[in-house]
Structures are given as structure tokens and as C-alpha cells.
Amino acid sequence: MTEKLVIIGNGMAPGRMLEHLFEAAPGRYEVTIFNAEPRVNYDRIMLSPVLSGEKTFEEIVIHGDGWYIANGVTLYKGHKIVAIDRAGKTVTSDKGVTESYDKLVVATGSVPFIIPVPGSDLPGVITYRDLDDVNAMLLAAQSRDKAVVIGGGLLGLEAAAGLKERDMDVTVLHVMPTLMERQLDPAAGYLLQKAVEARGIKVITKADTRAILGDKRVTGVALKDGRVIPASLVVMAVGIRPNATLAKEAGLEVRRGIVVDPSMQTSDPSVLALGECVEVEGRTYGLVAPLYQMARVAAENLAGAPEARFVHSETPTKLKVTGIDLYSVGDFADGDDREEIVLRDASAGIYKRVVLKDDRIIGAVLFGETADGAWFADLQKKQTDISAMRDTLIFGQALQGGTSADPLAAVAALADDAEICGCNGVCKGTIVSAITSKGLTSLDGVRAHTKASASCGNCTPLVEKLMTLTLGDSYNPATVQPVCPCTTLGHGEVRRLIKAKRLKTIPAVMQELEWKTSCGCAKCRPALNYYLVADWPDEYADDYQSRFINERAHANIQKNGTYSVVPRMWGGVTSARELRAIADVVDKFAIPTVKVTGGQRIDMLGIKKEDLPAVWADLGQAGFVSGHAYAKGLRTVKTCVGTDWCRFGTQDSTGLGIRIEKFMWGSWTPAKVKMAVSGCPRNCAEATCKDVGVICVDSGFEIHFAGAAGLDIKGTEVLGLVKTEDEALEVIVALVQMYREQGRYLERIYKWAKRIGTDEIRKQVLENTARRQEYFDRFVFSQKFAQIDPWAERVSGKDKHEFRPMAAVPFPQAAE
């Protein structure tokens, strides 16, 4: 019989618990979740990249609305539970909803600590725990004013770095002599302070806050030594406490947190608890790895295996600030019963310290070079006797035995249970098993199936070494192939840094990302131009000189130096007037060849370059715009006649194709995009080999994507079925916008889909309706700025957002 499971809280720990539970005991529970936040489950450890601009909220969502629907979960968003009736086995929310339970899981998380000083309740003083806090900081950052972050721990430094990326003047106040004193020794804390200050962030240590100043709003922070730090925003990041008030009011045993045994069982046999709100064997936890272990244990308990136990282990600390490599694990305090091994390289900014007790590692601190962090952590966890490698230990795993070794040998030597990804608790064996059993060949595939390297990214080098070790020569790490010889960075890293550093010109990108050449090359400039157009549509002015000749000339160059011109025919439909206009142009300019294309249009070949402006002027007078047969953008939407004429047609395929084409034409994409709409499953428009295709059926519109019919031949993947034409348009637009934002330059949709994973794409644009709408809205926003459209030219002297068709203005590249 199905039992009723109620969960209070919708954070990362209960979300992971449900993943395990649905796998271990599918259908056993009818699940209801009450979430105090008005949104779905998301990756809280990635809030810092959202603040800095490296990621969007949509990219850190773990479970979208579609996931809850697919798993039959009832989710109450914005419902805070105010009462637990243990006798009646019910919970009640502040919105008046009461739900009964057979089993209850409390996962109320933590609350930020607010230092009790005057002014701490002023507007402009915020904490840093959830998306609402990030949104408040983003709003404040628009002022480009001064910000003070109180707290030099992990969260405080990540908040400071994010606000600095948003162009605020940031000061960090830390009461202790060195930063992150709980995770770092003084030497590493000193190096960290230098690295933070090098980013333009001021750091004041031994800073004891006396008061927060202001009348109606914060104006500054006063220190006990008399100094006053001006600020319009103050971020409190001084620590967290388990949120156990609700459990205490319900009569559950509470000390520092909700007391649970190692099976996550509370003092009530019907109630479990997990996450930052609990205390297990006298300890509370705030890092994600132990919370995920709790999730697995709780799931096994609920699935009928109460023998599962939570086991404490030291969790490594890593700072999620781009460009700062830091890793620490265990106990590294001084003591008479321990010894240390230290390596310093001042010129390279490297510091390594390993603390030993009885020839076993009890702690390690790494700064500047952290590749051996997982190895040191594994030795510490297993309490391995290191006496045989004592002399070479500090040099890392690759140099054990006194000689340089293949770096893959170091990874091969790691045990299967060695943790690779601390954020998601993924061990080596899990990654290797996924690679071999699922045939994974890309880093993105490993991320999609195991979550390793999908969060902060610090473990990416280790994951890539595991892939090389497992796949051998068949692994081609395209994700780390440089864009071109001008840089060592790959496409993914360039795209990420453009957004993270808010780079909005090609020279800015080349300067900040340390390009090796002064002006780039024919390979990197078009890529950078596309990324800037896609990321800053309302701010970046498209640089036509960084485009290929076909895009600059609005025509395809042929082998003899002449050009071909393809005017757009919406959905392949034309008229006598249009055909006469084309015939007149052919006669007037003595165009030698006229050909019907596979995309249901007419191609005029053999046009001299000097005639192109006049050809386009004549075509423009007839109402033609460019068909973009040359573009990295939408080229054609092929259609059949559908219900208008065909006795087999189920929907108006011609009308939908024309609607899609008119809505989306002119949108730059990473590579060419071809579409088709077939009016019935007979598929006369060949929709199942296109980048995006639609098969019309009696019940609606079956959307396909990721097909290819060129050098590679590939049938499409089925995205899903939608009922209405409006929904079909919305899904297709969202799909293309997701591709525009994530695709690498010249990467076709089918290659992007293979890299990202079709399940992930389906989740984001079909199942998650809120995210789909956000993609759709961003596409519409970008289309407002015709500077991204290859058929348009800025109108001189007009408002910067006014444009008109290219055919109506002088051809801008006629002199080239």
C-alpha cells in the first residue's frame, strides 16, 4: 500500500534523497513537499557564480517543474510550515494547507547568523543564503556603489568576488587575523588575502564591527577602533545555525540541531531529518558532501533498509572564486604530537602543507596548485601509513617512488571509493562505471550522468584524466581544445569568462583573457563576435569585419569569385509577383544560372561582386529580404502543403512553418540551422533529418531536433509532443535560444545535443515550463536589437535601436 511521505524543505539534501528513494523504492510513497521559497529545487553552492554572472538561475536548477510532475510529487511553493502535529501526524503551512503523513522528513536547513550590533536591521543590510539574497545583491549592485561584506569565510569571499564582478567597490571585514581561519592556516590565509586584494577587493582583518550606520538606510560600517567604512550595501556572511525551531516546538529532541541517529532517525520513529538542520553524533554540517551522504542514508531508511548509517569524514574545502585555487582538508592546527611538511614557491604563488601524526596525514592545505588535493584527502580518510613515501609526499602523487611518472598513473592508483567530486559526493568508481556502461565519450556526458564536475568545476582536471585513463586514445577532450592558436582557452571557458568578467568588446576579451596575438585571427574573431552578440545583444555592436566574407557580402562566394544570392521565400511559398521580380533581376544582370534549392528557394549563381548592391536593391523593391544561405543562423523552414491541399494533412504545416520562419529569421546562432514542418507522419518535408523538425499528427505537433543530413547523416531525436501551434512555437524558440546560449561557435545542434544530453535539453525546454518561458523571453529580447540581424544595417542619425532592412539602404560593403 502506498504511504504518504511529507517533506518540509526543498533544498539540495531532500532533493538528492528523493532521487535515491525513487530509484530504490519506486511507487512506495505519495510524496508532498512544502518549500518556504517560492521556487523549485536549485544548487545553492552555485549561487556565487549566479551573483558574479558566470551562471544564470536557470542553469543551477536541479529539479524543474517537469521533474516533480513526472515523479508524481506535489510541491507547495512559498508554503512555510508553521506547525507539526506529531500525535495527529499532520503538518500545517502558513497558507492554511494541512497535510497528513505516514512518514515525515524535516529538512529546514540553516539560518544565517546576524551579529547583534546597532543598525543590523537597516534596509540595505542583507544575508547571503538563498536566491532572494542574490537577487537583492544584484539589485543593489546596479548602483555601482560601495559594498561591505562582514565575514572573510567561504561565503563572504564568494559574495565579495561576485559583487566586485558587478562593478561594486567592495571591502571585506574579518574579525580574525587571517581569512578563512577555520579552513586555512595563517600562511595560506595570507596568500589568499593577497589574491583577493589583487582582484581589487579591499580586505581589513582584525576588524571588529561596532555598529552599522544609517538612518532610513545603511550608509556605512563603524569599527571598534574608530574607523568608518562607507557603504550602501552590507552583506552579513559570518556563519549559520541549524534551523531547528519548528522541530523543537513539535517536541523533537534538539540540541544545537535536530538530534538524529546515524540512520537519520529523530526521537520520533515517524520522523526523519537531514541536512544543515540536524546534529548527528554531536556534529552539525554545512558542506554539501556530508549532506548528500545523509540523503542516501535517509532514502535507504525510507526504502526499508534502516541498517544504512551516516559515517563522519573530513570534507575538503574549496573556494568557488574564478582564478583562486585553494584546497584544505582535516586538522592542520599546531601541536607537539604532530609534524608538518611544507613546500613554498613564492614566485609561482604556491604553498603546500601536510600535517602528519604517527606517519598518517591528519590535514592538508594547498594554495595555488591543488591537483593533488583528492589524493591527500584519500590518504587522510583511509589513514594510510605514508612512512615509505615520507621524503616525496609533498611533491604529490605523480612523484612517488622518487621518479617522475605518467600523471595518469597517479589517477589509476586512486581507489574506486576515492572521492573525485566533493560538491556532489561522486567517487572514482562511479565515474568509471558510468563511462563504460553508458558509453560516455565527453566531459559533458559524464557531468550529465554522474554530476561530477557539474558544480564548481574544480575537479574537472581529475575527471578528464579519468576519462583519458578509461577511454585511452578514443577520448578526444574537445572541451579543452583551444579556440585557436591565439589562446590556450577552449570555447566553453571563453564563453564563461565573457559573462563572468562582463567583457563586451573583442579588445576587452583579448586583453583580459591574455590573448597571445594583438588582434586575433580569422578563426577566433568570428567566434568572439558571435559570443558577444549572443551574450550582450543590447550593448554589443556587431563587428562585420569579424565575420566571414559570405556574411559580409550577404551572398555565397563561388569557386570563380562570383557570388550566389538566395532571397528568402517564407516556408518555401512564393507568388507570380516574386517570380517575375527574380526573373527581371536575372535578365538585368545577366545571371548565368538559376537553380531551385533543397530548401525550397531560388538561387541565382554567378553574380559579380560589384553588382551585389544593385541586385539586393532591386530584390528589396519587390519585398525580398536575404534568405541567409550564408549565415550562421536560421536558413530555411521547409514545409509541405499540409491541410490546405493534402488529403493526408493533419495540421497547417505551411502556416506553422511560415510563422516559425518569420518569428525567428535573422537570429545569429553558433552554426547554421535548418528546420522543416511536415503535415503528417508521411514526412514529405523531411523533418526528421533537420536541426529542428515538426511532424504534425492528429493530437498536435511532435517536435524533433538534432538531426543532420550533410557530412554526417543522423536522424532526429524526439523532444516531445505538444498540443497547440502556440506551444510548438514557444518550445522551438526556447530550444534554439538554449542552443544559442550554450553552443560553441560552428557547433551544429546535433553535436551540441550530444554534448549536453538530450534528456537535459528535454527537461529544460519541454518539461520545465518556467525555464522554457525564460529562454523564449530572452530570444524575443535579443530580436529587438536588429544589430544582430545580418540583413539589417543601423540607420545613421536615428535612435540606436532603430533599424531597417538591408535592401532599403546602400550596401555597406560594396567597396570591399
Known binding-site residue numbers for siroheme: 684
Interval 135-179: pLDDT, tens: 999 999 998 899 999 999 989 999 999 999 899 999 999 999 999
Known binding-site residue numbers: 640, 646, 680, 684
CA angle 367, 371, 372 (to 5 degrees): 90
How many other C-beta atoms lie within 10 A of the C-beta of residue 590?
Answer: 10
How many other C-beta atoms lie within 10 A of the C-beta of residue 595?
Answer: 12
DSSP annotation of 393 = G
Interval 519-546: pLDDT, tens: 889 899 999 999 999 999 888 888 878 8
Of 84 and 414, the one with more pLDDT: 84
Confidence of residue 807 (pLDDT cuts 50, 70, 90): very low
End-to-end CA distance of the chain: 77
DSSP annotation of 431 = H
759, three cell numbers: 534528456
Provide the CATH topology of domain 3-109+242-302.
FAD/NAD(P)-binding domain (3.50.50)
Q: Do domains 3-109+242-302 and 125-238 have the same CATH topology?
A: yes
304, three cell numbers: 526499508
Residue 509 · residue 503 · CB < 8 Å: yes
Confidence of residue 411 (pLDDT cuts 50, 70, 90): confident
Q: What dihedral angle (degrees, nearest 10) is formed by the CA atoms of 660, 693, 492, 507?
A: -30
Per-residue pLDDT, averaged over 181-191, amounts to 89
pLDDT score recorded for residue 317: 83
CATH 3.40.50.300 fits 125-238, yes or no: no
pLDDT score recorded for residue 798: 33
Domains of the chain, by residue range, sit at 3-109+242-302, 125-238, 491-547, 634-788
Provide the CATH topology of domain 634-788.
Sulfite Reductase Hemoprotein; domain 1 (3.30.413)
Residues paired with residue 718 on neighbouring β-strands, in sequence order? 704
Per-residue pLDDT, averaged over 408-418, amounts to 75
CA–CA distances in Å: residue 144 to residues 169, 283, 694:
7, 41, 46
Q: Answer positive or negative: Cα dihedral of 317, 318, 319, 320.
A: negative
Interval 359-377: pLDDT, tens: 999 999 999 888 888 889 8
DSSP annotation of 644 = G
CA–CA distances in Å: residue 512 to residues 207, 494, 509, 720:
33, 11, 5, 42
Q: In terms of pTM, does the model score above 0.85?
A: no
Known binding-site residue numbers for [4Fe-4S] cluster: 640, 646, 680, 684
